[in-house]
Every structure is written in C-alpha cells, then in structure tokens.
A and B are shown apart, each in its own frame.
Chain A
C-alpha cells in the first residue's frame, strides 16, 4: 500500500471537489431519503384509513388548524437566503485561504503530461474513451445524456409524487435516475483515483509506475467467434446488439411493471414515451456498464464492427 501515492492524488487541489462529492452526495441522499421514509410512512397511514386521509393536512411537517398556510417572504425566506449566502461565503473564504489553485508549468505542446486528465467533472467522459471510440464517447454519448435528461420529465408519466420526497410512489423513476447518477460518479472516481500514467489501471494506493507496459490484446466479439469476413462480422455484431437490446428490454419491462401502481403508470404511457424510455434505459443504464465490464473483464474491444464505425 503506497499511502504517499494515494495522498498525492487525493490532496491534489483540483481533486478536492471529488473528495467533497464523496461526502456531500451520500449526505444529501440520506437527508432526502430520510424525508422520503417519513412521507412513505404517512402515505401508508393515510391509505390504511380513508377517514384520516380526509382530514389530515398530508405533510410530514407539523400543522395545526388556524396556522397560516403561507408565510411572508420578507423576513421568513429572505433571512434564510441571507444566512445561506453568509455561510457559503465563509466556506469559500476558508477554502481559498487554505488551498491554492493549481498552476503548472507554462503550456508546452512538446511535453505531454502523463497522465493528462480532463477536469474532474469531464473525467467520466474521458474514462469512456477506454470503452468506446472517440466519436461515441466524446460526442454521441454526451449528446445522449443531455437528450436523455431533457426527455426525462416527458417519459415519467407517474402522476404521483410531485413536490414531496417519496420512494414508494416513484421507485422506478428514482432508481433510473439514481443508477445513472451513480454510474457518472463511478466513472469520475475511476478516472481520477484509478487511472495512472498511460491511462492504465492502478488500484488506489498502488504506486504509479511510469515505465509499466501492459501487453493486453483486445479482441472484437467477431474474433472470438472466429469470423473474419467483415460483412459477416457486421451482421453478427448487429444480431448480438439486437439480442442484447431485446433481452434487456424484456427484463426492464418486467422490472417496471411489477407492482399494481407500476402497471397503472404503464397504462398511462403511450408507445412513443415507452420506447424512448426503453431506449435510454437500455443504452445508458445497462449497455454502458455492460460494455465496460466486457472490456475490463474479457478484453473485448468492439461488439459491433462495421466498415464505417465500430462500437
């Protein structure tokens, strides 16, 4: 265990935000889910007793008849905002006094940095370059992520759970987003803490060896099956991808129609919405990690090889 190496990576000023993420994301997840559990308990009670449902104010926050339902923004909201601004300013001040922004040597095109990493928030995309060609990892995938995020509200046809924390009413949507968010963070984590010189895999705490060479022969799926004819290889690739999409789509369908509520929501989803949902769910949430594992565990480079592009 090379603690010095680990410390060198963790304490890099530009990596501090990731360390902050490692603390903040779990904290806020817990903070949100705690309220979701409280709400879910309330929902359970209200569903068990229609009488209570008629009279209850239906929030987890205390309320008594006669209390104002609305508050003046001045001072009740503005004072919170002011306080938040003060706290953020203080945090930023302390951070800026104790930790200096990095400045390397002047830019020098003749001296390649090794490893040369993108800023941490894009390191996930850079890590994708290991698994896909640049046109896919660098262009198509980010586009898919952006479009996927934008269509998210339009394919979530669940009418419940607007404006309160809950898991039980929105399990599918939360799992979907949660898995995607988690994947994104894992990619950043790998790119930052695992990748060393030559973008090679060094476990956290393993010493970066700048002379290391890996003789790793990556194969394509078609090579493994023993096909050399390029057209046949393309057809095999298309079939493999097609089977994967169909199989995964079937699995996802089973997952999102498990409970009566899920089925009720499915009823409200039209074909276009459902296909869009399936496409993004399969592609980003399943195919992506699947391809990563194929590459990391079985050294498979391309699944689909065509004369024009490879995936």
Chain B
C-alpha cells in the first residue's frame, strides 16, 4: 500500500509542479505578449524593432497599411504638399460608413415611418442626435475636402501625365460623392429634402431625348410615365417609391460604387509612381522637342 500511496502522492505533486510551471510560463507570456504564438499568428513582424527593414515589412505585411509604399519621398510627408485632403476625404468616407450603418438600425424607408424615425432618433435614442449630426456634417465636410483635394491636384499639376486617368477616376468619385449626399437629403422625409429633391428631379423632365419636357422628348414618345425622371423616382411624383429608391441608392448602390472606384484610385496612385511630388522643378530650357516624344 505504501509505495502506491507514495506514488500517488508524488504523482499529485508532479501535476501541481507542472501546473506551477505552466502558470509561470503564462505570466511570462503576459509580460511579453509579443512572444506568444497567438500574437505571432496575427502580427508577423516585430513592431518594437526600429530597423528600416522591419518597419518596411510592418507596413507591407499589414492589409490596412499596404496601401502605402514602404518608403516615400522625404518631402511628401509634409502637410504643405497634399494638404492631407485626399486622406481626410477617405477618413470622412469611413466615418460616414460607420455612422451610416448605425443610423440604418433606426430607420425605415417608408412614408409612414421615416420622419418619425428621425424624431425618435433625435429625442429617444441615446446619442441619436449626435449620431445624426455627425453623419450630416461629415457629409458636408467631405464635399468641401473633395473640392480642396481637386484644387490641390490642379495647383501641383498632379493630373498630368502619367496621372491623367486617375484624375478621371477622381472626377467620377466627385460625382458620386455629390450624388451620395443628394440621395441622403431625401431620407428624413421632411420639407427640406422633399422640395430639394423635387426641384432636382424636375430638371430630369427636361433631359434632351429622355425627358418628356426636353428637346425632342415628345418626338421620341416620352411621357411623364416612362421618361428618365420616372425611372429615378419610381413614379411621376416624389413619393414612397422615390424614398425607397433614394434609400437603396444611398445606403447600398452608391457606397459600393464609390468603394470600387476608391480602390482603383488608390491602386493607381501607387501604380502611377506614387504621389507626384514635391518633385524637383523642371526648367523651360529642358523641355524635350516634340518630335522625340512621338
């Protein structure tokens, strides 16, 4: 019996010893989380190291950061060159997506509920008013920053070869940014949005060829019930269908389109040789003759 007992005892203490060891190991891990298997499975790069190679890898091996190159023109990080406007515009787009998704939880795109939902949001939902305000003002701000971004691109001549196409992608982004704001305007279903959208879509009536009041519209068989305005509103007046269409364009279709073009835009910034400057100035005397270019 004795040996058995002894064995049992020593077996028990072995387990305890082992557990002790593992607890010790765990606390060691807690002190150095970066050494754990869990951490290493997420982050492949040792971020505490500051040598250039590791830092470059830190950017390149991270899906969110890899939009960036690993290194960049030393003067391009200055605020004075880009004004940060493209980046800020993108950040506002992210803010709008985030607040927009939250708003969607409280909103029904129907004539009966839409306006009440906004009232409910403003008066009963915790931070609802702040949420709505942030979405609204971020949208306005995004339009301002897009215009300033364009203005910067013009001032630095960054739309020129080889970035012509990316400028065009930018123009498309501009148009969809404006449309994104405009479709959102109707959603509260109040007088402001209703009349703004009425005024806006009334112009569509006059579309040449495709509108029933536009040049050559009638000749092509356009009426108030089959023209381009009808397609936009899902009816001949701004009503329930128009609300639903605005909602779907605003919350699904246009954000998707914008995301795709943003992907192209960022990709092309990289592929066109990175940000255009600050570049060394070129002098008039250095212009190559036309012949050699063709």
Contacts and interface: CB of A to CB of B under 8 A. Distances in A.
Contacts of B276: 162-163
A58 B280 contact: yes
Given A35-B80, A72-B56, A74-B58, A139 B206 contact: yes
Contacts of A32: 151-152, 155-156
Interface in A258-311: 261, 264, 267-268, 308-309
Interface string B124-167: 00000110111111101101100110011011111111011001
B215 interface: yes
Main secondary structure of the interface of A (DSSP, over half): helix
B281 A46 contact: yes
A111 to B, nearest CB: 7
Chain A interface residue number, banded: 35 or more
A192 interface: no
A31 B155 CA distance: 11
B37 interface: no
A70 B161 CA distance: 23
Interface of A: 14, 16-17, 20-21, 24-25, 28-29, 31-33, 35-36, 39, 42-43, 46-47, 53, 57-61, 63, 67-78, 80-81, 84-85, 88-89, 91-93, 95-97, 99-109, 111-113, 116-122, 125-126, 129, 133-135, 137-140, 146, 149-150, 152-154, 156, 158-166, 169-170, 173-174, 177, 181, 261, 264, 267-268, 308-309
Contacts of A113: 191-192, 195
Given A73-B59, A138-B203, A163-B156, A106 B130 contact: no
Nearest to B79: A80
Nearest to B71: A70
Contact of A107 (B73, B174, B193): B193
B222 interface: no
Interface of B: 52, 55-56, 58-59, 65, 68-80, 83-84, 87-88, 91-92, 95, 115, 118-119, 122, 129-130, 132-138, 140-141, 143-144, 147-148, 151-152, 154-161, 163-164, 167-168, 171, 174-175, 178, 181-182, 185, 188-196, 198-200, 202-208, 211, 213-216, 237-238, 276-285, 287-288, 290, 293
B72 A77 contact: yes
B137 A99 contact: yes
B115 A106 contact: yes
